[in-house]
Chains A and B, each alone.
Chain A
Amino acid sequence: MSNALNESKTESSSESAGVTADVSTGTTTAGESDEQIREEWSNYHFDGPAKLSVEDLNVYYGTDHALKDVSMEIPEKSVTALIGPSGCGKSTFLRCLNRMNDRIKTARVEGSVELDETEIYDANANLVELRKRIGMVFQQPNPFPKSIRDNISYGPRKHGDIDTGLLARLLGRDDTEEESELVERSLKQAALWEEVSDRLDDNALGLSGGQQQRLCIARCLAVDPEVILMDEPASALDPIATSKIEDLVEELSKQYTVVIVTHNMQQAARISDQTAVFLTGGELVEYDDTDKIFENPESQRVEDYITGKFG
């Protein structure tokens, strides 16, 4: 059965793309049409509005061309997985989506990224506001060395959404109740409330790795984002903690747009609605529904990568 599937795929991909796929070496010999093929295969169409639209994105670190002409549209309220070998540019791409690369002095970003049809690389863009709307969760859980409660309320305080300080109280404003509600709501959304509700004033660093990661997700949710970027959020966790994060990602996608970078292809297969495959050289090679990518990818290079023949 699998042989038959493989054969028909090889046939149809070479037919539709007009290239010859050399199965023995696992390379696609394409020549002049490589560019066109990539454009065709990475031109993913979906119903409904795009939350993020990326067009001709190029990133350079000094002279190193890390991301080449990447264009893709990310549908709202879904999970989009970015996979590919180390150094393929997937994390670079993710960091472009909320302008985290601005913090790297040698990095230069060209092209366009629109959030709800508004250019985020506009000179007048408000970065604080942008990163409130597009939150981020990192590979290593990085809670503040503060109480669980303070970890959650830190963002909303900084944004001026809540205030429980002495001065606020003197001025007749006390958001203690709002803060409690916010902390409870965020922790519940991150599926952590049951485990920590009786020790909100304990230091967050006393939590397990999996709990710390869910706390970081709760912290991200507390500022009410629209998009959540996740860079390998489960790679430092054991399988049980990982499956909790995976369940959570699926739950979150009902309300938020989630973009997740993962080295773990099986994780991408399990949790994402669509998958983008980046390969060495900073190219987006193929972008499609996740079942299409894992059952019948168009590109021979993607086939070789996901079946473990290379990369």
Chain B
Amino acid sequence: MSRESYQQELSALREGVVALSETVVDRLELALSSLATGETAAARRVVDGDGEINDRYLELEQKCIDLFALQQPVASDLRFVAASFKILTDLERVADLATNLAEYALEASREVFPEVDVQALGVSAIEMVELAVEAYTEADTAACFAIDEYDDSLDQRCAEASDAVVRHLIERETAMADDDTVQRLLDDASRLLLTIRDLERVGDHAVNVAARTLYMVENDDALIY
């Protein structure tokens, strides 16, 4: 387990992080499509698969701890292991959010809110995760800043979507008499608000990945809060 195999362990960690991110993105896409189609089997796969992601996450985290304890990485190696350690947490959280989305898909009655395009928000959030992991593998600092900037627009679109849901609710509620209908509408609306909030958070985690990548590549903490 000396320098040559140390290099192999570093590559194995990098590959493990990328492979985990690919699974996480798969789950996000599955959750998003089940929100659109109401296909419960796909949603269930996402919910049931979260345990496997947690296991892989813990395994990779242990790899980082082993590297710290046994190999004492320094300089760029140290920043790489430390950044990966943090990025793993963000990826695991994104997987949790994918599980949330899948759970909403299982519950939703799919009342139409024509003002809100959840799919478009979801596609943007997924794209951000993919770009952030690509920046990590390619050590692309320009992409890190671009992701941070792009997040502002996703935040903006999510805020607008939430406003639209609430406005829709207020307008519809006044015209309605039936208590059951009101309750169903309220349930759907809150679920939708949570969906929007979770997608917004996926974007935040993508920015975290980009921020740690920037630190890893250039020892620059500009994007870390």
Mark the stretch among B67-75, B125-133, B167-175, B213-221 that contacts chain A: B67-75
Taking CB atoms and an 8 Å cut-off, the chain B residues in 1-60 that contact chain A are: 1-6
Contacts of B6 in A (CB 8 A): 270
Residue of B nearest to A243 (CB): B3
Measured as residues with beta carbon below 8 angstroms from the partner, the interface class of chain A is: 10 to 19
Partner of B70, one of A243, A247, A249, A294: A294
Are A247's CB and B66's CB within 8 A?
no
Contacts of A246 in B (CB 8 A): 2-3
Are A266's CB and B72's CB within 8 A?
yes
Q: Using an 8 Å CB-CB cutoff, how does the interface string of B65-94 with A read, 1 for contact, 0 for none? A: 110011110000000000000000000000
Interface residues of A (CB under 8 A from B): 243, 246-247, 249-250, 266, 269-273, 290-291, 294-295
Partner of B66, one of A243, A249, A266, A295: A295
Nearest CB of chain A from residue B70's CB, rounded to whole Å: 4
Partner of B2, one of A270, A273, A294, A295: A270
Are B2's CB and A291's CB within 8 A?
no
Q: How far is the CA of A243 from the CA of B1 in the complex (A)?
A: 11
Contacts of A266 in B (CB 8 A): 72
Are B3's CB and A269's CB within 8 A?
no
Are A270's CB and B4's CB within 8 A?
no
Residue of A nearest to B85 (CB): A1
Q: Is the interface of A mostly helix, strand, loop or mixed?
A: helix
Nearest CB of chain A from residue B12's CB, rounded to whole Å: 15
Known A269-B70, A271-B2, A291-B70; 6 more pairs at CB < 8 Å: A243-B3, A247-B2, A250-B1, A270-B2, A270-B70, A271-B1
Q: How far is the CA of A291 from the CA of B1 in the complex (A)?
A: 11
Contacts of A294 in B (CB 8 A): 69-70
Q: How far is the CA of A246 from the CA of B6 in the complex (A)?
A: 11
Nearest CB of chain B from residue A218's CB, rounded to whole Å: 18
Nearest CB of chain A from residue B106's CB, rounded to whole Å: 35
Nearest CB of chain B from residue A61's CB, rounded to whole Å: 34
Are A295's CB and B69's CB within 8 A?
yes
Query: Which of B1, B4, B5, B72 is packed against the most chain A CB atoms within 10 Å?
Result: B1
Nearest CB of chain A from residue B6's CB, rounded to whole Å: 7
Nearest CB of chain B from residue A79's CB, rounded to whole Å: 8
Given contacts A266-B72, A269-B71, A269-B72, contact A250 B5 (CB under 8 A): yes
Nearest CB of chain B from residue A264's CB, rounded to whole Å: 11
Measured as residues with beta carbon below 8 angstroms from the partner, the interface class of chain B is: 10 to 19
Residue of B nearest to A295 (CB): B69
Q: How far is the CA of A272 from the CA of B65 in the complex (A)?
A: 17
Residue of B nearest to A271 (CB): B2
Q: How far is the CA of A273 from the CA of B5 in the complex (A)?
A: 13
Q: Across the A-B interface, how many residue pairs have beta carbons closer than 8 Å?
A: 37
Nearest CB of chain B from residue A212's CB, rounded to whole Å: 20
Q: How far is the CA of A273 from the CA of B66 in the complex (A)?
A: 13
Are A243's CB and B2's CB within 8 A?
yes
Q: How far is the CA of A294 from the CA of B71 in the complex (A)?
A: 11
4 residue pairs, one from A and one from B, having the closest CB atoms: A246-B2, A269-B70, A294-B69, A243-B3
Query: Which of B69, B70, B71, B72 is packed against the most chain A CB atoms within 10 Å?
Result: B70
Q: How far is the CA of A43 from the CA of B6 in the complex (A)?
A: 29
Contacts of B4 in A (CB 8 A): 247, 250
Contacts of B65 in A (CB 8 A): 295
- 17 A-B residue pairs with Cβ-Cβ distance under 8 Å, sorted by A, are A246-B2, A246-B3, A247-B2, A247-B3, A249-B2, A250-B1, A250-B4, A269-B70, A269-B72, A270-B2, A270-B3, A270-B70, A270-B72, A271-B1, A271-B2, A294-B70, A295-B65
Nearest CB of chain A from residue B80's CB, rounded to whole Å: 17
Query: Which of B3, B6, B71 is packed against the most chain A CB atoms within 10 Å?
Result: B3
Are A269's CB and B2's CB within 8 A?
no
Contacts of A249 in B (CB 8 A): 2
Contacts of A247 in B (CB 8 A): 2-4
Are A269's CB and B5's CB within 8 A?
no
Contacts of B1 in A (CB 8 A): 250, 270-273
Residue of B nearest to A306 (CB): B69
Nearest CB of chain B from residue A153's CB, rounded to whole Å: 29
Q: How far is the CA of A205 from the CA of B2 in the complex (A)?
A: 28
Q: How far is the CA of A291 from the CA of B72 in the complex (A)?
A: 13
Contacts of B3 in A (CB 8 A): 243, 246-247, 270
Are B71's CB and A291's CB within 8 A?
no
Contacts of A250 in B (CB 8 A): 1-2, 4-5
Nearest CB of chain A from residue B109's CB, rounded to whole Å: 43
Nearest CB of chain A from residue B59's CB, rounded to whole Å: 14
Contacts of B71 in A (CB 8 A): 269-270
Q: How far is the CA of A250 from the CA of B65 in the complex (A)?
A: 21
Q: How far is the CA of A33 from the CA of B208 in the complex (A)?
A: 50
Are B69's CB and A291's CB within 8 A?
yes
Nearest CB of chain A from residue B1's CB, rounded to whole Å: 6
Q: How far is the CA of A265 from the CA of B4 in the complex (A)?
A: 19
Q: How far is the CA of A49 from the CA of B66 in the complex (A)?
A: 26
